[in-house]
Chains A and B, each alone.
Chain A
Amino acid sequence: MNFILSDVQNGVMTLTLNRPERLNSFNDEMHRQLAEVLTQAERDESIRCLLITGAGRGFCAGQDLNDRNVDPSGDAPDLGASVENFYNPLVKRLAKLPKPVIAAVNGVAAGAGATLALGCDIVIAARSVNFVMSFSKLGLVPDCGGTWYLPRLAGHARAMGLALMGDKLSAEQALQWGMIWQVVDDEALNDTARQLATHFASQPTFGLGLVKKALFASETNTLDAQLDLERDYQRMAGRSEDYREGVSAFLAKRPAVFKGK
Chain B
Amino acid sequence: MNELLISQNDRVLTLTLNRPQARNALNNALLEHIAQALESAQHDESVGAVVLTGNERFFAAGADLKEMANRDMPATLNDPRPQLWARIERFNKPLLAAVNGYALGAGCELAMLCDIVLAGDNARFGLPEITLGIMPGAGGTQRLIRSVGKALAYKMVLTGEAISAEQAQLAGLVAEVCPQALTLEYTKKLAARIAQHAPLALQAAKTALRQAHELSLSQGLQHERQLFTLLAATEDRQEGIAAFLEKRPAAFKGR
Contacts and interface: CB of A to CB of B under 8 A. Distances in A.
Interface in A222-251: 232-233, 235-236, 239
Contacts of A239: 181
Interface in B165-198: 178-179, 181-182
Given A235-B182, A236-B179, A236-B181, 6 more contacts: A232-B178, A232-B179, A232-B182, A233-B179, A236-B182, A239-B181
Interface in A144-193: none
A239 B181 CA distance: 10
Interface residues of A, number: 5
A58 B163 CA distance: 40
A233 B178 CA distance: 10
Contacts of B182: 232, 235-236
A232 B121 CA distance: 12
A194 to B, nearest CB: 33
Contacts of A236: 179, 181-182
Nearest to B186: A232
9 contacts: A232-B178, A232-B179, A232-B182, A233-B179, A235-B182, A236-B179, A236-B181, A236-B182, A239-B181
A232 B183 CA distance: 10
Interface of B: 178-179, 181-182
Contacts of B178: 232
A236 B56 CA distance: 15
Nearest to B181: A236
A239 B179 CA distance: 14
A243 to B, nearest CB: 14
Nearest to A210: B179
A236 to B, nearest CB: 5
4 closest A-B pairs by beta carbon, nearest first, are A232-B179, A236-B181, A232-B182, A236-B179
Contacts of A233: 179
Contacts of B179: 232-233, 236
B152 to A, nearest CB: 20
A238 B178 CA distance: 17
B30 to A, nearest CB: 30
Contacts of B181: 236, 239
Nearest to B178: A232
A52 B182 CA distance: 33
A76 B179 CA distance: 43
A236 B183 CA distance: 11
A232 B182 CA distance: 8
B177 to A, nearest CB: 10
A232 B181 CA distance: 9
A236 B182 CA distance: 8
Nearest to A232: B179
A235 B181 CA distance: 10
Contacts of A235: 182
B100 to A, nearest CB: 14
Nearest to A239: B181
A77 B3 CA distance: 53
Nearest to B180: A236
A192 B179 CA distance: 35
A237 to B, nearest CB: 10
A39 to B, nearest CB: 17
A121 to B, nearest CB: 20
B115 to A, nearest CB: 23
B179 to A, nearest CB: 5
Nearest to B185: A235
A213 to B, nearest CB: 9
A125 to B, nearest CB: 33
A235 B186 CA distance: 12
A233 B181 CA distance: 10
A235 B178 CA distance: 12
A235 B182 CA distance: 9
B119 to A, nearest CB: 14
A235 B179 CA distance: 10
B175 to A, nearest CB: 14
A153 to B, nearest CB: 24
A69 B35 CA distance: 59
B109 to A, nearest CB: 28
A224 to B, nearest CB: 14
A233 to B, nearest CB: 7
A166 B234 CA distance: 74
A45 to B, nearest CB: 15
